[in-house]
């Protein structure tokens, strides 16, 4: 099945059902994954993690604990040294830490890139590009070049580029880490809006505990190098989540719990 077919199927699913589907086969499954680099550093050891369709899972952990490596393995950019990785769909979106836009392409042409690489036909491509651009709130900025955009807008363009393929699994590698607090919170709100619209399974890496709790159905805490899963906490808040959730006592308590796990030795 081509990616275009998968994407069309996923769209039909998303418009058909109401609440997130938390059952069924895992979207993403890591079993006993270990990663040892050529220089001998062990980045990951005995990592088990399952993400089911409709789940939004965030990973927090100290720098160098192999969080990014986990995403790179899931996307096929890297291979695991040991263990198995099952990815349910070939249609995986990947948003990097940097927006990595092609500087000679304007917003529209950057958003179109993946659709070109996957050989979508031009009518379908045009429709999806326009949809994605309006979904990330960049309508009217199609002709702008990356160097004319703010950091937040560059990241929106990067999101739109992946949204065009309507992936059923989305990998985020600290996408908002370089943005200011206000822009980051706004993009968090919008990311959740996209999550409810498109119903992808998400694996999201961040350094911010609050961001992890605000976005996720589950927060996974990883240990320092070599990385492995140290704690796995469910987040009980319903979607849609209001920005005011960030100021509630329950939210603060859960953030405290995640921080505690981050700091604990074992």
Partner 1 sequence: MSVTVPSAVETDATGDAAAATPAIGATPPRPRSRRRGAGLVSFVLLPGAVFAVFIGIWYAVSDGVLNDQQRFMLPPPHEVVRVGFLDWSNFTTMMSALRLTCEVTFAGLAISIVIGVTVAVAMSQARWIENSLYPWAVVIQTVPILALTPVLSFFFGFALTSRIIVCVIIAFFPIVSNTLFGLQSVDRGMHELFSLHHTSRLTRLWKLQLPAALPSMFTGFRNAAGLSVIGAIVGEFFFKQGEPGLGTNLSVFTSRLEGERLWATTLTASLLGVAVFVFFGWLARRVVGRWYQPKRG
Which residues contact partner 1 by CB under 8 A?
18-19, 75-77, 92, 94, 96, 98, 100, 102-104, 113-114, 116-118, 134-139, 141, 144-150, 152-153, 156, 182-183, 186-187, 189-190, 193, 196-197, 238-240
Nearer to partner 1, 191 or 210 (CB): 191
Question: What is the side-by-side order of every strand in the sheet holding 92-95?
Answer: 92-95, 169-173, 201-205, 56-60, 218-222, 229-234
**Closest distance of CB 60 from partner 1, Å:** 23
Nearer to partner 1, 113 or 178 (CB): 113
DSSP state of 174: S
| Least Cβ distance, residue 84 to partner 1 (angstroms) | 21
User: Least distance from C-beta 46 to partner 1, angstroms?
Assistant: 27
Q: 64 or 151: whose CB is closer to partner 1?
A: 151
The rounded radius of gyration (Å) of the Cα atoms in the chain is 18
The structure tokens 């499954």 sit at 29
Nearest-approach distance from CB 118 to partner 1, in angstroms:
6
CA distance linking residue 146 with residue 149, whole number of Å: 5
**Based on CB atoms, which residue is closest to partner 1, 50 or 75?**
75
SS3 125: helix
> Where does residue 186 fall: left (phi above 0), alpha (psi -120 to 50 degrees), or beta otherwise?
alpha
Q: How far is the CB of 205 from partner 1 (least distance, A)?
A: 15
- Which residues touch 163 (CB under 8 Å, ≥6 apart)? 93, 132, 135, 136, 194, 198
Closer CB to partner 1, 231 or 245, in the complex: 245
């Amino acid at each position: 099945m081509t990616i275009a077919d998968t994407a069309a199927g996923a769209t039909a699913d998303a418009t058909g059902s109401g609440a997130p589907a938390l059952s069924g086969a895992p979207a993403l499954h890591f079993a006993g994954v270990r990663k040892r680099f050529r220089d001998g550093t062990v980045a990951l050891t005995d990592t088990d993690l399952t993400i089911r369709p409709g789940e939004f899972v965030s990973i927090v952990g100290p720098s160098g604990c192999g969080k990014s490596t986990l995403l790179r393995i899931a996307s096929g950019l890297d291979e695991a040294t040991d263990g198995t990785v099952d990815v349910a769909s070939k249609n995986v979106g990947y948003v990097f830490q940097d927006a990595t836009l092609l500087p000679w392409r304007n917003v529209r042409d950057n958003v179109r890139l993946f659709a070109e690489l996957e050989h979508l036909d031009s009518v379908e491509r045009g429709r999806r590009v326009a949809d994605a651009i309006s979904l990330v709130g960049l309508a009217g900025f199609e002709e702008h070049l990356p160097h004319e955009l703010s950091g937040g807008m560059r990241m929106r363009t990067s999101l739109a580029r992946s949204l065009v393929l309507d992936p059923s699994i989305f990998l985020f590698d600290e996408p908002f880490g370089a943005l200011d607090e206000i822009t980051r919170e706004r993009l968090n709100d919008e990311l959740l809006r996209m999550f409810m619209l498109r119903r992808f399974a998400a694996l999201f890496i961040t350094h911010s505990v609050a961001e992890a709790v605000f976005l996720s159905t589950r927060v996974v805490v990883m240990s320092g190098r070599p990385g492995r899963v140290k704690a796995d906490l469910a987040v009980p808040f319903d979607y849609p989540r209001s920005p005011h959730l960030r100021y509630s006592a329950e939210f603060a308590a859960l953030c405290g719990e995640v921080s505690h796990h981050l700091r604990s030795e074992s």
